[in-house]
Structure 1
Amino acid sequence: MIVGVPKEIKNNESRVGMTPAGVFELIKNDHTVYVQSGAGEKSGFFNQDYQQAGATILDTIGQVYALSDMIVKVKEPIAEEYDLIQKGQIVFTYFHFASSEALTKAMIASKSICIAYETVEDKEGTLPLLTPMSEVAGRMAIQQGAKYLEKPAKGRGVLLGGVPGVAPGRVLVLGAGTVGIQAAKMAAGLGAHVTILDINMKRLRYVNDVMPSHVVTEFSSEFNIRKLIKTHDLIVGGVLLKGAKAPNLITRDMLKEMRPGTVIVDVAVDQGGCVETTKATTHEDPVYIIDDVVHYCVANMPGAVPYTSTVALTNVTLPYVLKLANMGWRSACNLDKSLAKGLNIVDGEVVYEGITEAFNWEPVLA
């Protein structure tokens, strides 16, 4: 199979779909790999690195799309890429369709095979291709939140860890999944007081068992959220519904209950956000303020640490890329039920239920 790795062109996206090590494995399996010139530079991987691994370097993104049977990316295609995608071409990337009807309609029109990293699901019900980026984003949420709590950034002027004689900052984490666990771990490491909410008691018991005593758990309900937002300095949104739009756990009216300078980091922004006032931002212009509450809603947070993120992503995507390349998408998905759950749009038809629910379309036929 011919596999193409284009340069990401989304605003401030510095990751690349595959490392030279990943390319080497594909070449070893007798596949051809085309990498767009400069695709990996911001992640620390240069043209010569890919050439030494066996890839062919192409000058333009158009050439990569035109010559490839499968495109391996990081972020969803943006408008400039829609017309480059060919009928029957496999596109393997993060799509997050539920947050963009325009993207969904464009991929339906392309009649390509859209396999979404974020809906590949293993036997345990976990999302192995989303996990490493959720780990990165969860940890980054605390780094960024701590920065924007500083007064020059219009935050409350609170140091999360406090100092002797001064109470530490308070962090509220919505969701005890991968993002929430990593955010809580980082915040606790800084010495902050952390409250983590979830509706899954099994997850809350796990958090209670593994976290230090200054990380406390509460059941997630509107009543509890309204109570806690009044006293917490940093709020991290880490809620995920597989392949579907995130629920709005914090509504616009709740902002007035927060103290001026409170910071919200909505990691769920890729799925529409779990805060009603969330709108996607970029690393170039990451924050905005509504009702004196600072919102950090960067839709590709791991793109700020591209070396770490690219290596972590290739570690988990490569086995699936090899299956797709070695067997073709039909055989690979027939044999690997985890990969089959990644199928979102096939030959112009939506085959993932969460997408139709997000847009109130007719349900997917069984």
Structure 2
Amino acid sequence: MPELTIGLTAAHRGESGQSLPVHPQHLASLHAEVRSRLFFETGYGTPFGLTDDDLARVSGGVCTRRLIFSECDVVLLYKPVREDFLDLTEGQILWGFPHFEQTGEPPWAPNDRRHAVIAREPSLDGSGNGSFAPPIGEQLEEMAAYGSVTHALASTGRTGRWGPPVHAVVLGDGPLGDGAVAALQAQGITRLTRVTKRFPAALDAARDGLRTVQLVVDDAGECHAVSTSGHLALRDLLTQHDLIVNCLGQDADVPLPLLPPDQPYPLRPGTLVVDVSREQGAGPGRARPAAFTPVRHGADGVQYYAADDHPSYWWNSATWMLSRAILPHLGTVASGRARWLAQGGDTGLGL
């Protein structure tokens, strides 16, 4: 029989965040005993077309955020911030995606008041053979880039299927770059170059209209795009395109000089710069972090869009994906520490 109660808040304090940890459509698949231990914040079901009464009938109940933080044993949050930890009562457990792996340790001390944290980082797939499940974070990154590019194009009223041809370049590897490329191709943009830090298996080989070149930084710190036909200064490559998507993760203290804001560069008026990586001072040109707000028009005629790096544009789909990853563990967490230890200890749950 489950022993712990789990509270789910209707919103988080992260900028523009709308994704939630459990999708209401998944509740029917849970055992009644597990559902009875789930308590939702007032309004949690509203974005999904459900009233508080609808949600209360298939869960332990609906209550205020204050009651969740004061009464529930576990608080389930997608992206907790410092203020959420400060709201916890002594001995309470926070379960979510705090991204401790990015810094090695939290910027606050959750153990000051005997808090426990269940960090949803790379997890075991439950098969018992030590295999890891596909990282949900990578899927969300891909979705975030897809949403940012789609929203930026819509905000500037352009597409590759109709109107003037669009020449696009994507900077970056991994899920963010994959999502950006997928979004551009879905919009009919076929004149597409991808700049990668890795050595491409097929440098310059065009696949589905996608040409890949390598990013190389010389001893002087200048960036170059290397292809089989030679190399070109990165800034010169970028100025040949009218849509630039930056997905490069960087050190904001020592950013790569993609398009230094203090140097003139001949981007054509109307060029759209989309900064998906959203790192202050590390993006191309004059791109600055922002939420899902209108594209900013620079004095140089260039359009800048820098969206937050979460998939809020597709918040319903993102909630579904998060929920599928969390659902198998709800019963285990609600069952309490005795069962956690019986299933392999605090590090063997795949949570």
TM-score of the superposition, structure 2-length normalised? Answer: 0.73
Higher helix share: 1
Q: Which residue of 2 aligns with 1:335?
A: 348
Which amino acid is 1:90 matched to? I
2:180 is aligned with what amino acid? A
Unmatched 5+ stretches in structure 2? 217-222, 226-233
Aligned-pair identity in percent equals 19
Select 2:86's aligned residue among 83, 88, 93.
83
Distance verdict in 2 for CA 1:40–1:252, change over 3 Å: farther
Do the aligned partners of residues 263 and 291 (structure 1) sit closer, same or farther apart at CA in structure 2, a change above 3 Å counting?
Answer: same
* Selected match of 2:145 from 126, 131, 138: 138
2: CA distance, partners of 1:95 / 1:295: 29
Paired residues, number: 319
**In structure 2, what residue type is equivalent to 1:217?**
T
Give the C-alpha shift of residue 327 in structure 1: 5.5
Note closer, same or farther for the CA distance 1:55–1:120 as it changes in structure 2 (3 Å cut).
Answer: same
Task: Please tell me whether the aligned partners of residues 196 and 218 of structure 1 are also in contact (alpha carbons under 8 angstroms).
Answer: yes
- Identify the residue that residue 224 of structure 2 maps to in structure 1: 223
3-state SS of the aligned residue for 2:208? coil
Q: How does 1:178-197 map to 2 (within 5 A)?
A: 178-192=175-189, 193-197=191-195
RMSD: 3.9
SS at structure 1 position matched to 2:311: helix
Alignment of 1:112-127 (within 5 A): 112-117=115-120
Distance 2:290 2:116 in 1: 28
Q: Give yes or no for the alignment of 1:67 onto 2:71.
A: yes
Structure 1 CA distance for aligned equivalents of residues 325 and 253 of structure 2: 24
SS at match of 1:318: helix
- In 2, Cα distance between the equivalents of 1:131 and 1:181? 10
Letter in 1 for 2:173: A
TM-aligned CA distance change 1:317 to 1:196, over 3 Å: farther
Show structure 1 runs of 5+ residues with no match.
151-157, 340-366
Match of residue 219 from structure 2? none
Deviations 1:261-297 (A, max 9, x none): 332322223x7685175543223x3544556443322
Cα distance, 1:65 vs structure 2: 1.3
Distance 1:267 1:148 in 2: 15
Is 1:214 matched up with 2:209?
Answer: yes
Following TM superposition, by how much is the alpha carbon of 1:253 offset from its aligned partner in structure 2, in angstroms?
1.3
Q: Distance in 1 between matches of 2:179 and 2:33?
A: 36
Is 214-223 or 292-301 further displaced after alignment?
292-301
Which deviates the most, 250-259 or 27-36?
Answer: 250-259
Equivalent position of 1:349 in the other structure:
none
CA distance in structure 2 between the partners assigned to 1:249 and 1:332 by the alignment: 43
CA distance in 2 between counterparts of 1:133 and 1:159 reads 24
Give the distance between the partners of 2:207 and 2:140, measured in 1 at CA: 24
Q: Are the structure 2 counterparts of residues 235 and 44 from structure 1 closer, same or farther at C-alpha, using a change threshold of 3 Å?
A: farther
Question: Could you tell me whether the CA contact under 8 Å between 1:20 and 1:53 is conserved in 2?
Answer: no
What one-letter code is carried by the residue in structure 2 that aligns with 1:219? Q
Aligned match for 1:172, one of 150, 165, 169: 169
2-structure distance, mates of 1:84, 1:54: 24
Whether the 8 Å CA contact 1:233–1:263 is kept in 2: the answer is: yes
Shift of 1:249: 4.0
